Amino acid sequence: MVAGEDYRKHLKAPRQRHAPLSRGLVDLGGGTMAKRAGTVDPPASGGDHLLSPEELAAYLAVPLATVYRWRSRRDGPASYRVGRHVRYKLEDVEAWLEGRRADPALPGS
């Protein structure tokens, strides 16, 4: 760099991030929406459905690293070891979410 030269022109431009269209949906063009790969809907029966960390991240629309960080800090929903795999019960995830509601006095907040 030459003295007096503007240093900013040597810096990389920040990457542009695209805002998500809708939770779990991608635009196929022409007004057509499709389910994004890796997203999961809660099962209709509730029951003891187990989610993998990847499915939990997709369900909550958070990065997978966030799910692992919650687990290591014991800050996230209860998890279970099934052999060498980590799994989450959907009912535990929903109870954990309910406990993290911004204002418990307001429904839906």
Asked if 76 contacts 86 with a C-beta cutoff of 8 angstroms, the reply is: no
Q: How many residues does the chain have?
A: 109
pLDDT tens over the chain, length 109 residues:
566 666 666 666 656 555 554 555 655 556 555 555 555 555 555 556 899 999 999 999 999 999 999 999 999 999 999 999 999 999 999 999 999 888 766 666 5
Encoded tokens for 9: 């022109």
pTM, 2 dp:
0.54
- Rounded to whole angstroms, how far apart are CA atoms 104 and 74? 22
Neighbours of 33 (CB within 10 A): 13
Q: Domain map of the chain by residue range?
A: 50-99
Q: Which of 96, 12, 5 is nearest to 51 (CA)?
A: 96
The number of beta carbons lying within 10 Å of the beta carbon of residue 86 is: 17
Using CA atoms, how far residue 2 sits from 5, 7, 10, 11, in Å, is 5, 9, 12, 15
Say how many CA atoms lie within 13 Å of 11 toward its Cβ: 7
